[in-house]
Amino acid sequence: RAGRGCSRLVMAAVPPSSRPGGSEPTPPPPLQYSLLLQHLVGEQRRPRAFDPAALGGIPSPPKSEEQKMVERAMESCAFKAVLACVGGFVLGGAFGVFTAGIDTNVGFDPKDPYRTPTAKEVLKDMGQRGMSYAKNFAIVGAMFSCTECVVESYRGKSDWKNSVISGCITGGAIGFRAGLKAGVIGCGGFAAFSAAIDYYLR
């Protein structure tokens, strides 16, 4: 019995690799952190959809047909043209009144240059100049906005090229009334101005 116990202890102390007839156990595969990082921050990471309800926000209800119709109307070219026309009218009127206010020749009568103009005459000239500027700004704003919307719808892209093309068309249409050379200059000048404004805003 004592001999059998000693042989069992010797067999237990021998490592499995050195046991006669025993096969070596396969080591576990090493953990590859590169594959793990690809799923966490790499290209294989699955984007999570933003859900306001998960952050405690109020989930937005589905839009009704009336709301969709109003959104389509506000995104139409006609609405954008009207909005640009109104904005140009207000901006042009303010700019005309401002330029008339700093002009020393407002209310000036060429027949009687030494006569001091009255306040009524000055206000009349300021109103006429403001209305003239307002009409011009409204026409240019409506033409540019409508042309840009049509070009964007035709190209299917929203980039700086839309502003340049619409600026060239608008400037050329306004300048062609004074001749071909004025139309080419207006096209190039308005296109460059539109590109600069678009670059500044973006």
pLDDT tens-digit profile of 28-69? Answer: 665 566 666 676 666 666 666 555 555 555 666 777 778 878
Q: What is the mean pLDDT of the chain?
A: 77
| pLDDT confidence band for 12 (50 / 70 / 90) | very low
Is residue 120 within 8 A of residue 162, CB to CB? The reply is no
Question: Domain range for residue 167?
Answer: 159-201
Cα separation, 100 vs 112, in Å, equals: 20
Based on the fold, state whether residues 146 and 186 are members of the same structural domain: no
When pLDDT is cut at 50, 70 and 90, the band that residue 78 belongs to is: confident
Indicate whether 93 and 167 sit together in one domain: no
Q: Which residue did the predictor score with more confidence, 135 or 1?
A: 135
- Does the pLDDT value for residue 129 go beyond 60? yes
Does 168 lie in the same domain as 146? no
Whether residues 96 and 138 share a domain: the answer is yes
152 lies in a domain? yes
> Do 166 and 149 have their domain in common?
no
Q: Which residues contact 163 (CB under 8 A, 6 or more apart)?
A: 148, 194, 195, 197, 198
Quick one: 119 and 148 in the same domain? yes
Structural domain tally of the chain? 2
129 touches 114 (CB < 8 A): no
Task: Tell me the two tokens of residue 188.
Answer: 């190039």
pLDDT, residue 88, reads 92
Question: Measured between alpha carbons, how far is residue 15 from residues 3, 6, 10, 87, 104 in Å?
Answer: 21, 16, 10, 89, 109
- Residue for token pair 């589905």: 62
Whether 129 maps to a domain, the answer reads yes
Same domain, residue pair 176 and 193 = yes
Of the two residues 107 and 172, the one the predictor is more confident about is 172
Question: Is 4 within the bounds of a domain?
Answer: no
Does a structural domain hold residue 34?
no
Average pLDDT over residues 175-191: 88
What is the pLDDT confidence band of residue 137, given thresholds at 50, 70 and 90? very high
170 part of a folded domain = yes
**Which pLDDT belongs to residue 103?**
77
Residue among 137, 198, 192, 138 nearest 168 (CA) = 192
pLDDT class for 153, splitting at 50, 70, 90? confident
- Please indicate, yes or no, if residue 163 is contained in any of the structural domains: yes
Residue 43 lies in a domain: no
As given in the structure block, the two tokens for residue 66 are 């009336």
How far, rounded to the nearest angstrom, does the alpha carbon of residue 38 sit from its chain's CA centroid? 31
Kindly state whether residues 102 and 122 are assigned to the same domain: yes
Residues 120 and 186 in one domain: no
Q: What is the pLDDT of residue 43?
A: 63
**What distances in angstroms separate CA 172 from CA 9, 94, 145, 168, one per listed residue?**
103, 26, 15, 6
- pTM value is 0.60
Does 94 reside within a domain? yes
147 plus 183 within the same structural domain: no
